[in-house]
Chains A and B, each alone.
Chain A
Amino acid sequence: MSASGGAATRAETRSPITLLTPSSVAFRAIVGKDLRTELRTLQSLPAMALFAVTTFVIFRFGLDRTALSGSLAAGVLWATLLFAAILGINRLFVAEREEGGFDAIRLAPIDRTALFAAKAAALLVYLVVLEAIVVPVFAIFFLDSAAALAPLLAVLLLADLGLAATGTLISAMAVHSRARDLLAPLVLLPLVVPLMIAATGASEPVLDAGGPSYERFGTWLAVLGLYDLIFLLVGYAVFDFLLED
């Protein structure tokens, strides 16, 4: 869209000599920075995983079940993953805000949407790592067999993409407000309702007690894909305006 073109012309009019750093370089640099910081400080991921596992334990007693299947299993899994994801989403831009990263991005000769892509990619990595830890735990706690995990992988990946897109957008919007820890979940939850409907809809038959079935599986995956596409495009189109100052 015009976002990248607009940024390019703006940079050129400011100073004709400056050339934009290619977006792929900027993207790699920001993702690398984010993942390195997370690896060294371990601020988000351990908390997210611990939160998810504890929530499973609470569901075990709250529902008074030792095994789950079908819609109940899908609901427990997705509610837990969503709330764990919110922990990470809340912290996504905190370093940028507190250490002046936003100013640095504004000064750097890069297309600003590279920041959106990089942050969404970093969040996607967080979510994938979280699920790599937590979903096997879920299977051990509640499921009879691991047969559901393979088809679940596709649902998880598509839903993560949507969560990464909306989460990055909302986190970037909320980080400049007074009550950011409160606002990000408040705005994000209604926004991801369609995503959760599709994700639980696809997971429900897969997690059935008698082994995975695929009733309307493809349709729900298509809805997830559509959701991802729309919010990646919307994020790409509007993210520029969140960085202007």
Chain B
Amino acid sequence: MYGKGLKTLSISTAIVIAAAFVLVFFYAPLDADQGFIQKIFYLHVPLAIVALVGFVAGGVFAVLHLRSGDSRWDAYSYVAIHMSVIFGVAVLLTGSIWAKASWGHWWVWDEPTLVSFLIVFLMYATYYPFRYAIEDRQRQARYASVFAIVAGAFVPLNFMAVRMAESLVHPRTFATAEGGLPGEMMLTFLVSLAAMGLLWTTLVRFELTAKSASGQLKRLRRALDAPAPGGNSRVAPEVS
């Protein structure tokens, strides 16, 4: 049931990503002082926004899970956080490349958004050891949801604290995105954002489908009294 519409979604994702790249390379004007390297902005910022929204979505799914007790929401929460952590790696890598190209260092401590993102990423990276250290499945799901809610509350607070700790006033990407960004750049940025959002959704759907299939397979094996060949694999949470 998770596979329904997945084909259409995948194809439209591929089309929008292709369109975004065409716009990035052939339509958006070159940045006056950063030149070609500024184009990584269209990859880095949408990835970061999608990852953060994904983290918050994981928290919202966790609230739904705790309120309803339906383990489906736990699977949604897990997959949302999982995909956002993977996107987070890409954000840190692209951010690092951009920092090297425009400021000359691989890592810049006085860029509050980058530092906040690192802290949020480290927080969510502990989701896995935490989740897998709890053996009982029911309890694992419940505790993981509590984690997702606590971490969700932590995200905005962390961004505020890191930004306040920054004494230097740095040019804000968002201030330029809303104020000084020319129309062509804005359009390209929005298409890239849509592309990354779609990519995230598609990957989340794929993972849910895979989990659902492996859960089904496991149940069938159990019904046939044939244990899984790999022993107890770590595909938690199981989806029915």
Taking beta carbons and an 8 Å cutoff, which residues of A are in contact with B?
A: 166, 169, 173-174, 176-180, 182-183, 186-187, 190-191, 193-194, 197-198, 201, 219-220, 223, 226-227, 230-231, 234, 237-238, 241-242, 244-245
Q: Which of B159-167, B168-176, B187-195 contacts A (4 or more CB under 8 A)?
A: B159-167
Q: Quick check: A241 and B142 within 8 Å, CB to CB?
A: yes
Verify if B53 is at the interface (C-beta below 8 Å from A): no
Tell me the minimal C-beta distance from A158 to chain B in angstroms.
Answer: 14
Minimum Cβ distance to chain B for residue A45 (Å): 27
Chain B 126-153, CB-CB to A under 8 Å as 1, else 0, gives 1001100111100100110111011101
The answer to whether A183 touches B133 (Cβ under 8 A) is yes
A177 touches B134 (CB 8 A): yes
B123 adjacent to chain A (CB < 8 Å): yes
B153 near A193: Cβ-Cβ < 8 Å: no
Q: Are A194 and B161 in contact (CB under 8 A)?
A: yes
Q: How many A-B residue pairs have CB under 8 A?
A: 88
Hey, which bits of chain B sit against chain A, CB under 8 A?
66, 119, 122-123, 126, 129-130, 133-136, 139, 142-143, 145-147, 149-151, 153-154, 157-158, 160-162, 164-165
A190 touching B119, Cβ below 8 Å: yes
Evaluate whether A176 and B134 lie within 8 angstroms (CB atoms) in the complex, with A187-B126, A226-B157 already known.
Answer: yes
**Cβ contacts under 8 Å, B145 to chain A:** 241
Known A177-B134, A183-B130; contact A238-B146, beta-carbon cutoff 8 A: yes
- The answer to whether A183 and B150 have CB atoms under 8 Å apart is no
- Please give the distance in Å from B124's CB to the nearest CB on chain A: 9
Chain A residues, CB < 8 A from B161: 193-194, 197-198, 223, 227
Residues of A within 8 Å of B139, CB to CB, are 176, 245
Q: A177-B143, A237-B149 are in contact. List 7 more A-B contacts (CB 8 A).
A: A176-B143, A187-B147, A190-B119, A197-B161, A223-B164, A230-B153, A234-B149
B5 CB, min distance to chain A CBs, angstroms:
33
CA distance A241 to B139 in the complex (A): 9
B119 A193 Cβ-Cβ under 8 A? yes
- Residue pair B153, A183 in contact (C-beta under 8 Å): no
Give, as a whole number of angstroms, the nearest-CB distance from A107 to chain B: 18
A-B CB proximity, top 8 nearest = A194-B161, A177-B133, A190-B123, A197-B161, A190-B122, A178-B133, A187-B126, A238-B146
Query: Which residue from B122, B135, B147, B160 sits with its C-beta under 8 Å from A173?
Result: B147
Tell me, in angstroms, the Cα distance from A28 to B111 when the chains sit together.
Answer: 47
Interchain nearest-CB distance for A5 vs B (Å): 14
**Residue of B at shortest CB range from A177?**
B133
In the assembled complex, the Cα of A227 lies from the Cα of B157 at a distance in Å of 7
A-B contact pairs, 9 of them (CB 8 A): A186-B126, A190-B123, A193-B158, A194-B160, A223-B164, A226-B157, A238-B146, A238-B150, A241-B142
A187 touches B130 (CB 8 A): yes
Chain B's closest residue to A173 (CB) is B143
Please pick, from A178, A183, A190, A238, the residue contacting B66 in the complex, using a CB distance under 8 A.
Answer: A238
In the bound complex, residues from chain B placing their C-beta under 8 Å from that of A241 are 66, 142, 145-146
Q: Which residues of B contact A197 (CB under 8 A)?
A: 161-162, 164-165
Partner of A179, one of B129, B158, B160: B129
CA distance A244 to B69 in the complex (A): 12
Residues of B within 8 A of A231 (CB): 150, 153
**Which of A176, A177, A183, A230 gathers most chain B CB within 10 Å?**
A177
A173, B133: Cβ atoms closer than 8 Å: no
Chain A residues contacting B147 (CB-CB under 8 Å) are: 173, 187
Give min CB distance, A208 to chain B, whole Å.
15
- Chain A residues with CB under 8 A of B66: 238, 241
Q: Across the interface, which residues of A come within 8 angstroms of B160, CB to CB?
A: 194, 223
Which residues of B have CB within 8 Å of A174?
A: 130
* CB neighbours of B123 from chain A (8 A): 187, 190-191
B165 cross-chain contacts in A, Cβ below 8 A? 197, 201
Asked, given contacts A176-B143, A187-B126, A241-B146, whether A194 binds B162 with beta carbons under 8 Å apart, the answer is yes
